Amino acid sequence: MQKKVLITDAVDPLLISGLEVAGYACDYRPKASLAEVRQILAPYAGLVINSKIIADAAFLAAGPNLEFIARLGSGLEIIDLEEAEKRGILVHRAPDGNCDAVAEHILGMLLMLAHRLRLGDWQVRNMAWDREAARGWELKGKKLGILGFGYTGRALWRRLAGFELECMVYDKYQRAYPGEVDLEELLAEVDILSLHLPATAETLGWMDGAFWQRLAKLRAGRPLVLLNSSRGKIIPIGALVGALESGIISAAALDVFEQEKTALYTAEERVLYGRLVEMPQVVLSPHVAGWTKESKERLAKLLLERILSKAARV
């Protein structure tokens, strides 16, 4: 009997065609909700997901025939890995599929901040030129810290080579990488801090208000530029807005946010996000750093290879 794969998010067609050539029957439902997926999951041997699917223990129990789950991207916080292992479900992911896209995106956002391109664009469109107000600063000679040296951290590091700045790197779980320093030195010394951390029990909410107060003392009040293209829940929105308003963070480029579903904003969050979007010193994008034509194809290719090899990549 032909095994079935449920695909719950948009994918490059090569993943579907590759699975079909390998003998799978693919059911492509990119508009299905989490509740709908749970209701129909039982007969499927494979599941291809992105971030809208939360594969917790209850969800996995609804898929007794699951043999694999393939994650379009890197974050595994949406999957109960322990429960998946108990059930013999292989978990595949492809952090190497969109790391180049994320690195290019966050570098572009950094250059927008440094050269005040958002303001310059506004001036030209509004026929209100003020060149002095739009004066920027150069990356050359600055210290940039990469916090987390996985696929994306390394991809950014490679792209920074031509900017003549000093890269400082910290990763708690890796060693022997270029620019290695301890965490406190990195936080104390850098002019620019780029986050490349997964969402884990260690990192969720880590950069709270107390963190930024400690950092201000550690840096003797010297502000930094913050880049976050990893996980928004690392920094509670109240702490982020507070650090920007106090000047601990002088500027920020943000592709991710603590709450990305605007319909779920609390009254307090609505106020805080309202303050954030009015700040001239921030550049924002809607969690699309990894979304390029090339990364979509690459993710499909890598996941296809990993599904067919039957080797878990967690």
The catalytic site residues sit at 231, 260, 287
Closest to 140 measured CA to CA, from 116, 115, 177: 115
Strand, helix or coil at 224?
Answer: strand
* Tokens coding 34: 């989490």
User: In the Cβ-directed half-sphere of 140, how many Cα atoms lie within 13 Å?
Assistant: 3
Alpha-carbon span 145 to 236, nearest angstrom: 21
Closest to 41 measured CA to CA, from 70, 64, 63: 63
* Tokens coding 290: 């990894």
Amino acid of residue 136: G
Helix (H) or strand (E) holding 158: helix 151-159
Strand, helix or coil at 172?
Answer: coil
Cα diameter, the chain: 70
- Measured from the Cβ of residue 260, the count of other Cβ atoms closer than 10 Å reads 12
Alpha-carbon span 245 to 225, nearest angstrom: 13
Write the CB contacts of 59 (distance below 8 Å, at least 6 apart in sequence): 34, 38, 41, 53, 80
Kindly give the residue spans of alpha helices, DSSP state H, lying in 8-125: 13-21, 34-40, 57-61, 81-86, 99-114, 117-125
Q: Cβ distance 143 to 187 under 8 Å?
A: no
Q: Cβ distance 257 to 250 under 8 Å?
A: no
First-to-last C-alpha distance (Å) of the chain: 29
